[in-house]
Amino acid sequence: MKGSPRVAFITSAAKGLGHATVRCLLAAGYDVCFTYGQSRAEAEALVTEGEQRGRRVFAQSVDLMNREATLAAVDGAMERFGRIDVFVHNFGPYVFERIALAEYDDEQWARMMTGNLENFFWIYRRVISGMRERGFGRIVTMGYDGAEVAAGWRFRAPYAAAKAGLASLTKSIAREERQNGITANMVCPGDVRGDNKGRLISEVKNPDDLLGRPPVGEDVARVIVFLCAEDSGQVNGTVTEVTGGYDILAYDDGKDVLDENCQYRAGDTVHVIPWGTTAHVVDVIQVKNRNLMYVVQNRLQQGQFTAYQLAHPRGE
C-alpha cells in the first residue's frame, strides 16, 4: 500500500462476512473502523487481532437502523482516524422465512429498505466529500446472485428489490465519481453458511480434499480487498458474483437443475483419479442443485470427489 495506511469503514462486521472482510483488510495493511450490534466479544477479538498486526482498529456498537446513530459512528471514525478511504456496506437485513410479498407488513418492508438502501445513502453522503478532496475512494456494496439484472427472487422480493436498487446506485456512483478517483463496485456472495462466513480459507482447507472445501468468508473478502486496492481504479461499476457458479436462486426455490444417478455406494472400491490409487466410498453427499459428492477414504487420506474424478478399479 502506497504512503500511509488507508482507512476502511465497514458496517456490521463483528461476525459473518464482515468479520472475514475486516480480517483480510487488516492483513492487507489497512486501518479499520467497523460497527457491530450485540456481538461485543467477537468485536473485541477483531480489535485484538488487528492490534497484534500493528494496525489501528476501532469498533463501535451502533444501531444501523437509526440515522443519527449511524452518522455519529461515521463521524467517530473520521475523528479517530482523520479520514475514511474505503467504505464497505456489509450491513443488510435479511428475512430467513419465505414470505410472499403481499404478506409483508409496513415495518418489515421499511426494515428491508432502510437497512439495505437508506443506510448506505446516509453513510455515502457523509464520506464522499472527503474522498473527492483526496482524489481517492473505494466503495463496495453487497448484493445477491442476480442483483445486476434485477432478477426476481420468489418469497424474498423486498430484499431482492433493495439489493437490485443498491446495484443501480453503485453503478451510478461509479459513473458520477470516476473522475474524482473514486470507484464503486458490488460483490454478490454465494452460499456461505454458518460459522464459515467469518473464516479464512486456511481455517477449513484440507489439501487432500480437492473439491470438498466449503465456501468461506475469505472467498468474498479477497475480492473486496482487490477492489479496494490502489491500483484497481479501472475496475469500476462492476457487479461480481462469488458463488462458485452455483445457482443460488434455483436452490432457494427448491428446483433441482441436476438429475444425476448415483454411480457408487458406500463400501464400493473405486479408483481415485487425482490420487492415482484406490479407496473405499464411505458416504455419498446429496445436496439439491449440486453434483453428488462421494466421500472416499484409504489408509492415508480422505476426500470428496464427483463421479468424474472416480472410476471402477481395473478388472471390474
Query: Mean pLDDT, 10 residues at a time, over the chain (316 residues)?
Result: 82 96 96 95 94 95 97 97 97 87 94 95 98 98 91 91 96 97 96 91 76 88 97 97 82 66 94 94 84 92 92 77
- Domain assignment present for residue 261? The answer is no
pLDDT (0 to 100) of residue 248: 75
Q: Specify whether 182 is located in the same domain as 235.
A: yes
Q: Per-residue pLDDT tens for 157-194?
A: 999 999 999 999 999 999 999 999 999 999 999 889 89
pLDDT (0 to 100) of residue 30: 97
Residue 173, helix vs strand vs coil: helix
CA distances from 255 to 31, 52, 150, 160, 284 (A): 43, 46, 20, 19, 20
For residue 207, count other CB atoms closer than 10 A to its CB: 8
- Domain assignment present for residue 223? The answer is yes
Give the span between the Cα atoms of 105 and 287, in whole angstroms: 33
Q: Specify whether 226 is located in the same domain as 141.
A: yes
Q: Which domain holds residue 231?
A: 7-252
Among 201, 220, 252, the domain boundary falls at 252
pLDDT (0 to 100) of residue 208: 62
Question: Whose grid coordinates read 409483508?
Answer: 104
pLDDT (0 to 100) of residue 191: 86
Give the span between the Cα atoms of 278 and 276, in whole angstroms: 7
Give the span between the Cα atoms of 275 and 88, in whole angstroms: 41
Give the span between the Cα atoms of 85 and 240, in whole angstroms: 21
The number of domains in the chain is 2
pLDDT (0 to 100) of residue 3: 62
pLDDT (0 to 100) of residue 97: 85
Q: Specify whether 90 is located in the same domain as 155.
A: yes
Model-level pTM?
0.87
pLDDT (0 to 100) of residue 48: 95
Which CATH number is 217's domain given? 3.40.50.720
Angle, helix 106-113 to helix 157-177, in steps of 10 degrees: 30
Give the span between the Cα atoms of 295 and 285, in whole angstroms: 7
Q: Specify whether 286 is located in the same domain as 158.
A: no
- Domain assignment present for residue 23? The answer is yes
